[in-house]
Amino acid sequence: MTKRLWIETVGCQMNVLDSELVVAALRRQGWELATASSEADAVFYNTCSVRQHAEDKIYSALGRIRQEKLRRPELVIGVIGCMAQKDQLLVRSRAPWVDLVVGPGQLHQIPTLVADVLAGGGPRLEVSLDRKAGSRDAVTLSFESYDPDRDPTMRPTPFQALVRTQTGCDKFCAFCVVPHVRGPEQARSVASIVAETQKLVAEGCLEITLIGQTVNSYRWNEGGKMLRLSDLLEQLNSVDGLERIKFVTNYPRDMTDDLIAAVRDLPKVCPYLHVPAQHGCDAVLSRMKRGYTIGEYMEMLHRVRESLPHAAVTSDFIVGFCGETDAEFTRSLDLVRSANFKNSYIFKYSPRPGTKAFERQIDDVPEAVKRGRNQMLLDAQTVVSLAGNQPFIGTRQQVLVEGLSAREEKNGGLPSVDGQAQLMGRTPCDRIVVFHAPLRLIGRLVDVDITATAAWSLVGVVADGLAEAKLLDELPSPASASALYAIALPTRTPTGAARA
Ligand code: SAH
Ligand code: F3S
């Protein structure tokens, strides 16, 4: 009989992609997605370790699923991804009903591991080497890249795709667990990224988002020539049928002129740059081991603004990092007020075992102070974001329609009597646009006239709406976005509040 999988995903886009690939691998073995965890034969949690809160959420979910496991002992429970790599044996000592603990470097093993558990083989732990547990080569080898061929019938959204450029990270920012749980930086070849993109486009994909922890550090040695992200973008730009290329996340020091020029000169590359500053004060940046000063960050931003005056730049900030004084925090406020970020994701510092900050610095900013600073920085960013959206009123924007708006999702997503619903999509500069339109526009590029703005979104009407709707009525309808996303995905809000 067909087996059914339920998978919950928290964390970043790497996890979203990993979940897509794990689901595809199991579907290839005959599995289907369940509509609820109570109807599943296997329940997986694809986890995040970046902040304590993300781990707490998973341990509570594991507490809840325990009842189901008591009722149905044959249910396979899997903890996969970053928390599996970080906590390893601890997962099963806190939740002994877990059957599978699989790190991000071992995901390729999942189909075999699940079959073993189902055959009565008992619980399994598969993780990669700790960063200090061997030579760089040995550790690197233990984090196997996971980019199997994608099957078009198994893709959650046919018109958009995440494409990995590299795994891992070597920057070792003092607060960050990512280099420990995702291993050494390893690039994929230009040829394999281009080939994957061509295949995705042939299957109907219009937009790809390249993902890497520091995507702009991408390097690939091609017969003695070092190819960089700008070279990769140039090759991708000439893929026929592809409309948009985005890439995240950028490391400030690697925002080189060739990359800025590529964004300027290549029409398919979107003018959207996520370049986290993390903090506005040199002393804190130095304690964070970020490797740049605010002067250098501003110089980078200046180069970006000179060449790309219309680009949207976004940032991440951490508040309440070890030893952060009021005066130091004020520098982050200053940066938000002066840098004109489209939006910022703001996080309260969460100490992570294994990191340098955890080992050598004291988490001495009280929680209430962190909370207050988070709110202050968010308020400052909201003012900037509102003002930044204002000039869009009266303009026409090209929007890739992604699905129902958040409001409509909450209402259950049924179209109103006129067969229309509130939809959402994004501009090339990654601004969210909401508008009323027929569901069949999902997955298409449409022009939208902007009529109003909020801090985190624009509101508009489809240009020449009636003609468009009529024409599109004759086209086959792509599946609705909510049906496409049978996988539970993390919500992505510009405030960062809902990010794990
Ligand atoms: N390069 C990665 C960064 C991963 S972590 C990327 O693809 O975005 C995402 C963000 O979480 C970081 O930019 C940082 O702002 C925040 N973060 C990382 N470690 C944190 C910690 N220990 N506490 C609070 N926020 C953290
Ligand atoms: Fe983390 Fe810094 Fe890398 S934030 S992912 S260690 S660039």
**Rounded distance from Cα 176 to ligand 2 centre (Å):** 6
Distance separating alpha carbons of residues 5 and 86, to the nearest angstrom: 24
- If one compares 89 and 465, the residue with the highest pLDDT of the two is 89
Residue intervals of the chain classified under CATH 2.40.50 are: 393-475
User: Residues 62-69: what's their mean pLDDT?
Assistant: 96
Q: Give this prediction's pTM.
A: 0.92
User: Residues 402-409: what's their mean pLDDT?
Assistant: 90
Domain 4-142: top CATH class: alpha beta
Q: Name the band, by pLDDT with cuts 50, 70 and 90, for residue 409.
A: confident
CATH number assigned to the domain covering 152-388 = 3.80.30.20
User: Residues 326-345: what's their mean pLDDT?
Assistant: 98
Q: What count of residues does the chain have?
A: 500
Q: Which of 1.50.40, 3.40.50, 2.40.50, 1.25.40 would CATH assign to domain 393-475?
A: 2.40.50
Number of the ligand 2 atom closest to the C-alpha atom of 276: 4
pLDDT at 487 over 80: no
pLDDT digits (tens, 9 = 90+) for 150-170: 777 777 789 999 999 999 999
pLDDT digits (tens, 9 = 90+) for 433-456: 999 999 999 999 999 999 999 999
67, 68, 73, 74 alpha-carbon torsion, rounded to 10°: -160
Q: Name the band, by pLDDT with cuts 50, 70 and 90, for residue 478.
A: very low
User: Residues 359-381: what's their mean pLDDT?
Assistant: 98
What is the model's pLDDT at position 212? 97
pLDDT digits (tens, 9 = 90+) for 260-282: 999 999 999 999 999 999 999 99
**Rounded distance from Cα 367 to ligand 2 centre (Å):** 23
User: Residues 296-300: what's their mean pLDDT?
Assistant: 98
Percent of the chain with pLDDT over 90: 85
Residue intervals of the chain classified under CATH 3.40.50.12160 are: 4-142
Residue intervals of the chain classified under CATH 3.80.30.20 are: 152-388
* Ligand 2 neighbour 7 (Cβ under 6 A): no
Number of the ligand 2 atom closest to the C-alpha atom of 179: 6
Q: What are the backbone dihedrals phi and psi of residue 80, each rounded to the nearest 5 degrees, phi first?
A: -125, 165
* Triad 489, 186, 160: Cα angle to 5°: 35
How, if at all, do strands 4-9 and 42-47 pair? parallel
Distance separating alpha carbons of residues 231 and 317, to the nearest angstrom: 30
pLDDT at 479 over 70: no
What is the model's pLDDT at position 483? 32
